């Protein structure tokens, strides 16, 4: 389905602090993401032309269609901030009403906006008035906790104040990532509002994406953690929906080519030094499904520069190809990955938010 000239029949790359940078967005678009988002940027920072904020929200033409996500809680700031952001010509501007990180919620931003749907409506209204023909969207969780789910009131506030569509991450704010995704709420939201609904939460595979698409009344699917080290999911989904078959996981040579391209883009975007830690993280994500990941984890943190990283990876790919590494217990690796990935990601969130929010 095309909405505002954007193909919502394709998977959407979620905003992710420190992850949804230009490099990852370009890779995701290359593999077929229908829409990508910047990470959240502070409305105040955009208004004041803060250097870091502008850097986070800028993008290249080949990343479009792209949405810029904004964090704020004051209609007098959000409206003018939208005008500043429009200078970059994004396809969508999204209001973050879902971030549960305490640094954000304690400033009454992110998911705490859901505590007061009336105020939320005013924020959306001020953004819509400033945005002209550019659509304003809102990204929600279900509510504060399982006893205070108020996604219906929040979705209605979005619709009544001119939001073009909403995205719902089907967990509560206090549930962070520990709750099971409650997809059943998607149909209730869809019954309550007419604007398009994008589903988000725990879509890690083609099967997960098809399950949500086929069983719930949604207009689009957004994916965050499932795209880490796996931009191939965009292509698999598109091939399945357009041609009716799953091309399967990528072969190792495509994984290598894509990881190296991703690292090169990080280098271009951030320079050698800042790119290094990001490149290490992505390397682990791309390679976590393969034997030898435990060995890679042992070595990768000692790597001091990008050239040594390329060398280590080249060697690692050769060893995987030659069957050098013994079988690893996938269940243990997956469990570690989830714990570690979230640990990293949350650490990153804190770092970034303390710098810019
Ligand atoms: C590292 C990380 C950073 C995130 N940053 C943002 C953000 O800037 N804005 C936002 O709305 N959501 C953010 N999220 C939430 C995701 O967009 C998404 O809603 C959530 O991870 C659930 O989707 P998933 O199960 O596909 O990961 C972040 C999530 C992670 C893991």
How many CB atoms neighbour CB 145 within 10 A? 13
Tell me which of 12, 17, 151, 178 to substitute to probe ligand 1's pocket, judged by most ligand atoms within 8 Å of the beta carbon: 17
Q: Is the CB of 230 under 6 A from ligand 1?
A: no
Atom of ligand 1 nearest to the CA of 19: 1
Predicted confidence (pLDDT) at residue 343 exceeds the cutoff of 70:
no
Q: Are 142 and 168 in contact (CB under 8 A)?
A: yes
Q: Is the CB of 225 under 6 A from ligand 1?
A: yes
pTM, two decimals, is 0.94
pLDDT (tens digit per residue) in 203-251: 999 999 999 999 999 999 999 999 999 999 999 999 999 999 999 999 9
Atom of ligand 1 nearest to the CA of 139: 11
Cα 40 to ligand 1 centre (Å): 10
Q: Are 109 and 96 in contact (CB under 8 A)?
A: yes
Q: Where are the beta strands (DSSP E) in the chain?
A: 2-3, 6-7, 12-13, 35-42, 66-71, 92-97, 136-140, 165-169, 197-200, 220-223
Q: Is the CB of 320 under 6 A from ligand 1?
A: no
Which H or E run includes 103?
helix 102-105
The closest of 10, 23, 14, 12 to 345, measured between CA atoms, is: 14
Instruction: Set out the domains of the chain in order of their start, with CATH numbers.
Output: 2-246 (3.20.20.70), 252-346 (no CATH)
Cα 16 to ligand 1 centre (Å): 5
Predicted confidence (pLDDT) at residue 349 exceeds the cutoff of 80:
no
Atom of ligand 1 nearest to the CA of 98: 11
If pLDDT is split at 50, 70 and 90, which confidence band does 335 have? confident
Q: Is the CB of 281 under 6 A from ligand 1?
A: no
The closest of 38, 3, 9 to 220, measured between CA atoms, is: 9
Residue 129 token pair: 């008035």
Residues ≥6 apart with Cβ < 8 Å to 321: 252
Mean pLDDT of the chain: 93
């Amino acid at each position: 389905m095309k909405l505002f000239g954007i193909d919502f029949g394709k998977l959407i790359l979620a905003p992710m602090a420190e992850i949804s940078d230009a490099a990852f967005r370009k890779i995701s678009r290359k593999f077929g993401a229908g829409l990508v988002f910047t990470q959240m940027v502070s409305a105040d920072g955009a208004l004041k032309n803060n250097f870091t904020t502008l850097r986070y929200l800028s993008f290249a033409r080949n990343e479009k269609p792209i949405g810029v996500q904004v964090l704020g809680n004051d209609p007098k700031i959000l409206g003018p901030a939208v005008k500043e952001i429009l200078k970059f010509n994004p396809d969508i501007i999204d209001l973050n009403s879902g971030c549960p990180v305490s640094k954000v919620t304690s400033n009454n931003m992110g998911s705490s906006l859901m505590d007061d749907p009336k105020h939320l409506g005013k924020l959306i209204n001020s953004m819509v008035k400033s945005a002209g023909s550019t659509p304003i969207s809102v990204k929600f969780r279900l509510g504060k906790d399982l006893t205070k789910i108020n996604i219906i009131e929040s979705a209605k506030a979005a619709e009544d104040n001119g939001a073009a569509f909403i995205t719902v991450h089907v967990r509560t704010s206090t549930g962070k990532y520990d709750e099971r995704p409650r997809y059943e709420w998607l149909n209730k939201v869809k019954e309550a509002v007419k604007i398009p609904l994008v589903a988000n939460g725990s879509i890690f595979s083609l099967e997960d994406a098809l399950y949500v698409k086929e069983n719930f009344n949604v207009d689009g699917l957004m994916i965050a953690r499932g795209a880490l080290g796996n931009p191939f999911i965009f292509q698999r989904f598109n091939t399945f929906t357009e041609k009716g078959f799953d091309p399967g996981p990528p072969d190792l040579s495509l994984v290598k080519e894509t990881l190296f391209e991703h690292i090169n883009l990080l280098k271009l975007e951030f320079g050698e030094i800042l790119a290094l830690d990001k490149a290490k993280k992505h390397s682990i994500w791309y390679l976590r499904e393969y034997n030898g990941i435990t060995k890679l984890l042992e070595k990768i943190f000692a790597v001091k520069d990008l050239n040594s990283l390329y060398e280590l990876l080249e060697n690692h790919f050769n060893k995987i190809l030659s069957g050098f590494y013994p079988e690893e217990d996938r269940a243990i690796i997956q469990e570690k990955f989830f714990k570690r990935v979230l640990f990293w990601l949350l650490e990153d969130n804190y770092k970034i938010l303390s710098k810019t929010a």
